[in-house]
Amino acid sequence: MANNDAKSQPFTALIEEATSRAPENTPSWLAELNMQAAKRYAQVGWPHARAEYWKYTNLNKLAAGAFALGDPAALAAVPRERILPLDGPQLLLVNGAFRSDLSDISDLPDGLSLRNLAETTEQDRAILGALIEETISADGLPFAAVNTAVLTDVLILEFAPGIATERPVHVISLGGGDGAAFAPRLVIRAGDGAVVDVVESHVGTGGYFADVVTQVSVARDARLGHYKMQNETLDAFHIALTTTEVAEGAVYDSFVLSTGARMARNEIRGTITGGKAEYRINGAYMGNGEQHLDNTTFVDHAAAGSRSREIYKGVLAGASRGVFQGKILVRPDAQQSDGFQMNRAMLLSNKAEVDSKPELEIYADDVRCSHGATVGELEEEQLFYLQTRGIERNLARRLLVSAYIDEAIDEVQNPAVKEAFKQMAAYWLSENLTRNIR
């Protein structure tokens, strides 16, 4: 990376705009973090094509964009037709800022503490500071530095020890306005023994840039279901980082469904710090036209007897491109770790393509780790079989692809979220499957 790369200048200007617009009453601790992040971005600059971590994702179209900070007051009403059909609390972020007036917080579960930046406690600020410094100092994360440099709000969900929620808490990030740039920051903390589900949805209108950071901690013996729907507009750019820390005996269960955006990168970095913890990060991606959908994961087995599972499945039509980069690191003390990762992609067009790079880095000798990747097409034998039973060819295609992607979504543990994701996938198929298929 280089700090004088011309491609970084639009984002340097964005940081300068945020600095000039910062309110006089900005807390000193936040102003300090903003400044540290701005310095970090000036040091690392724009990811070069030769940077291994970004080699499969071309950022030239993003670099060519002209962005200004989005206005949190830009949206007066919620486009309900683009929201996942889920019962339960809905927490709305507009261009990165929490909007309580648009949120439905009348039915928050007992034991959930909800706070934005203005309501943070001294303990929150200490934890936030440590989390933020960790992300901006890590290699390969220039957009986490940009997120922090322009940060004006944060949403904290803190689940008390032992709480069990009946319905998922739905956090909806809405982007609005051509040329808008915004930086949502979400912090999720599940206390000891908590059993909770959180859904994170990203939708909007116009051609904007969403620079998202979500930071998760799952305490001892807790279980967190964390489900994400990325359904931005096809003119939008979406770069998201999720960092997770999973303690002893805890379970982190994640699923990312990515169907929107001109270019999207969903990156998950997790550290398993306690034994007998389980870390599941699964996903499905569906692209058409010239969409670029990148899923990048890094799992750090830092404790003995931990288990991780990653299964991603993609459907790519038109001239779309998918990327899967997955790395499992097993440290010397993490004996008896069990890790697995797999990426499967179905190409529905001669112009569609996928890059897969699964990787293992193992420093312990008593482990069980494996990885794989497959690329395939619709099988003519299966199509012919369905056609011989009176099913029209296009419908047969749709049925086969639907079954393929539904198998991935079946990894979602929450029944309501699973059904909502299947509905969104079915809608994508109805809109896209009749085109760009040979």
Inter-CA distances, 14 with 65, 68, 153, Å:
12, 6, 16
How far apart are alpha carbons 399 and 386 in whole angstroms? 9
Say yes or no to pLDDT of 19 above 70.
yes
Please say whether the beta carbons of 330 and 362 come within 8 A.
Answer: yes
pLDDT at 215: 96
pLDDT at 436: 42
Say yes or no to pLDDT of 437 above 90.
no
pLDDT at 73: 85
- Lowest mean pLDDT segment, chosen from 188-197, 326-335, 392-401, 426-435: 426-435
Tell me the pLDDT band of 5, cut-offs 50, 70 and 90.
low
Query: Strands, DSSP E only, in 247-336?
Result: 251-258, 263-272, 278-287, 292-301, 307-316, 321-330
pLDDT at 77: 66
Say yes or no to pLDDT of 4 above 60.
no
pLDDT at 329: 98
Digit-coded pLDDT (tens) for 205-224:
889 999 999 999 999 999 99
B/e letters for 210-231, b = 16+ CB within 10 Å, e = fewer, are bbbbbbbbbbebbbbbbbbbbb
How far apart are alpha carbons 300 and 338 in whole angstroms? 12
pLDDT at 380: 86
Tell me the pLDDT band of 76, cut-offs 50, 70 and 90.
low
What pTM did the predictor assign? 0.94
pLDDT at 35: 92
How far apart are alpha carbons 259 and 264 in whole angstroms? 9
Reduced to 3 states (helix: H, G, I; strand: E, B; else coil), residue 6 is helix
Q: Which residue has the tokens 């980082």?
A: 241
pLDDT at 1: 45
Looking at the chain, the whole-number percentage of residues with pLDDT higher than 70 is: 97
Say yes or no to pLDDT of 301 above 80.
yes
Digit-coded pLDDT (tens) for 44-74:
888 887 788 899 999 999 999 889 999 988 8
Digit-coded pLDDT (tens) for 311-356:
999 999 999 999 999 999 999 999 999 999 999 999 999 999 999 9
Q: Which residues pair with 313 in a beta bridge?
A: 284, 344
Tell me the pLDDT band of 419, cut-offs 50, 70 and 90.
very high
How far apart are alpha carbons 310 and 244 in whole angstroms? 15
How far apart are alpha carbons 309 and 358 in whole angstroms? 13
How far apart are alpha carbons 382 and 438 in whole angstroms? 15
Tokens in use for 228? 């994400």
Strands 90-94 and 97-98, how do they pair? Answer: antiparallel
Digit-coded pLDDT (tens) for 224-277:
999 999 999 999 999 999 999 999 999 999 999 999 999 999 999 999 999 999
pLDDT at 134: 78
How far apart are alpha carbons 435 and 430 in whole angstroms? 10
Average pLDDT over residues 165-180: 93
Closest to 136 (Cα-Cα) out of 124, 128, 126, 148: 148
Say yes or no to pLDDT of 39 above 70.
yes
Inter-CA distances, 149 with 142, 174, 236, 351, Å:
11, 20, 21, 38
pLDDT at 2: 46
